[in-house]
């Protein structure tokens, strides 16, 4: 018995339609929220790195 082409939901792991990342609208909302949170944390990290580099540069030039 061969399994047809399919993928699995990135949130719950259930079978999702081919080419889809999630199996339902609810899982898509969860995935979007997780991606938004991840993007926000990444932006915060980059801002902190820039601030730290700026403070280090100020200290070295002082």
d(CA 49, CA 12): 34
Which tokens sit at 59? 């200290």
Q: Give CA–CA dist 43/50, Å, rounded.
A: 11
**How do the domains of the chain map onto residue ranges?**
7-61
Cα 60 to Cα 62: distance, rounded to the nearest angstrom:
6
- pLDDT at residue 1 in the model: 60
Please tell me the predicted confidence (pLDDT) of residue 62: 82
pTM assigned to the model:
0.73
In order along the chain (62 residues), what is the average pLDDT of each group of 10 residues? Answer: 80 91 96 98 98 97 88
């Amino acid at each position: 018995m061969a399994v047809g082409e399919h993928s699995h939901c990135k949130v719950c792991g259930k079978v999702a339609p081919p080419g889809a990342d999630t199996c339902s609208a609810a899982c898509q909302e969860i995935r979007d929220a997780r991606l938004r949170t991840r993007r926000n944390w990444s932006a915060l990290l980059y801002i902190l790195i820039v601030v730290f580099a700026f403070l280090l540069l100020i200290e070295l030039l002082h």
